[in-house]
Amino acid sequence: MIKRFGILSLGLMLGFVLAFTSVHFLNDDITPQVISEASKLIGIDFTAAERDSMIAELETSRESFQSIRNLELDNSVPPALNFNPIPPGKMISKVEQANDWNLAKNITLPDQRSELAFYTVEELASLIKQQKISSVELTKFFLDRIDQYDDTLKAVVTVTEEMALDQAKKMDQELADGNYRGPLHGIPYGLKDLFAVEGYKTTWGAAPYQDQQINRTATVAKKLEEAGAVLIAKTTLGALAYGDVWFGGTTKNPWNLEQGSSGSSAGSAAGTSAGLFPFAIGTETWGSIISPSNRTGTTGLRPTFGRVSRHGAMALSWSMDKVGPITRSVKDAALVFEAIHGPDGKDQSVFDLPFIYKSDINIRDLKIGYLKSAFKSDYDNRKRDSLSLAKLEGLGAELVPIELPDYPVSDLNFILTAEGAAAFDQLTLSNKDDQMVRQGKSAWPNLFRAARFIPAVEYIQANRARQVLIQKMDSVMQQVDMYVSPTFGSNNLLLTNLTGHPSVIVPNGFTDEGQPTSITFVGDLFDEGLILGVAEEYQKATNFHTKLPEMFAQ
């Protein structure tokens, strides 16, 4: 083993070796032999004299650990550290510019009202603005859809019917009085059930919290209400934002009911895909918008870290959690993002920077990178991804081969589990993690327990390495305006979640079995407008996003 001096690392490790066995707090003597055994966990060897010298310091550390545990810090309390994805010297434009949405006009009501389930936000907004349908009518329509289909889909935890009808009536009255709030005026939506809404349960998808009520309303819900949107449902998530298994079962993929919808924004994606609501809000730490959007054929925007307030949301990883929309089209994602981005004075990680949507963009002016080695590798969606590249080239894009930084990205993933274990410290210490449905080696209860043994020094070192990765990634982004990646290509998904870069995922075809597939557009920090604009041009030139899961298109 490598010999180093690292009393803090060993102290934390040793404290948990002694104090954490089936979560019984021990006060056994710390001896040189105990230190020697604990050292094996972190791959560091110390001399006999060094082990003997540490004892007093380690005993003091163990007392401090217990003192902090006794504080029982709530999940809502962030650490006094804020992650900043902006590399040193990088300039981000603060120039404001009003977005010209060029929204569709003269949309007509369908002869078959059931078709409204798959209208875009843009189309529904036109109907409401022209008063061809009221918000109350539309809200009742989607509430009926939930009642009809959710027993099959399992995408909704709580229906917020009373609140929804009150909000819809208010929007109709305001419109009658000549007060139109914008494109989301009167539009129903679903909200991932890790966001608090006062008066309703916030279950986090997990059995230990299924009766939890939090007496606050998340900023994202408040901003959507201010924009005129109508909350009709709190959507399922894999327990504590992992996977698609929650305390009520498994959220299904509308395209294949034998399959889960993936997670963790399981219900937000499945419900949008199946027409239970026109859009929904999801969150991502490591794939929780991208993965279910890929599975369900929806469009997902994972914004830059620090774009949308997480106030009132369950924390999993303070330095990686991000909030974004899941929709039926790219323009819908942009419309929703316009409403929810920006600071609120409560989440200190949020930057006050403009969002400029680049609609009707001239792709011929852009250098669009593609991950050469990823696209050339042998993977399931290679043929459809190659066709997507050809489509972009046909639209006039200059395609530039690039590669991601050569860096041990996968070795940094314990940053997430360390922060998650801290966020759910009391769940582990109370043994209530035994109530979780998933209990395997890769499930949260076991991962949180194992994370207790991550040394503080190594966590900090990983974040220092992350800073180097951020700078390396910035060098890559300077070569192109944006780039395209296979949705699960290379280390792109984890890397960009660590660096905070934004992504848009859109459908790009179907397997022989009729399953949706996708491709991902990745942009520079805070440049959601560009990748959304390019993704919209791609959607205009294809029709994959207009296809419907047959079972729900009745």
pLDDT in tens, 374-400: 999 999 999 999 999 999 999 999 999
Give the integer Cα–Cα distance in Å for 144 and 375. Answer: 43
Q: Residue 19 has what pLDDT?
A: 42
**Residue 522 confidence (pLDDT):** 98
What's the sign of the alpha-carbon dihedral 120, 124, 129, 130? Answer: positive
What is the number of structural domains in the chain?
1
Please indicate, yes or no, if residue 105 is contained in any of the structural domains.
no
Within a domain: 312: yes
Rounded Cα distance between 338 and 333, Å, is 9
- Please indicate, yes or no, if residue 230 is contained in any of the structural domains: yes
Task: Give the residue ranges of the chain where pLDDT is below 70.
Answer: 1-26
CATH number at residue 285: 3.90.1300.10
Answer whether residue 461 is part of any domain. no
Among candidate residues 329, 148, 151, 141, the one with its CA nearest the CA of residue 252: 151
pLDDT at res. 26: 62
Residue 474, token pair as written in the block: 């910035």
Helix (H), strand (E) at residue 523: strand 516-523
**Residue 470 included in any domain:** yes
- Other Cβ atoms within 10 Å of 309 Cβ, number: 24
Q: Is residue 526 part of a domain?
A: yes
Looking at the domain assignment, is residue 104 inside a domain? Answer: no
Show Cβ contacts of residue 225 under 8 Å, excluding neighbours closer than 6 positions. 167, 231
Task: Write out the residue range of the structural domain in which residue 169 sits.
Answer: 113-347+356-407+466-552
pLDDT given for residue 241 in this prediction: 98
Q: Which long-range contacts (CB under 8 A, 24 or more apart) does 42-47 make?
A: 42/6, 42/9, 42/10, 42/13, 42/455, 42/458, 43/1, 43/2, 44/1, 44/2, 44/3, 44/4, 44/6, 44/9, 44/10, 45/1, 45/2, 45/3, 46/3, 46/5, 46/10, 47/3
- 3-state DSSP helix/strand/coil percent for the chain, to nearest 5? 40, 15, 40
Do the domain assignments include residue 376? Answer: yes
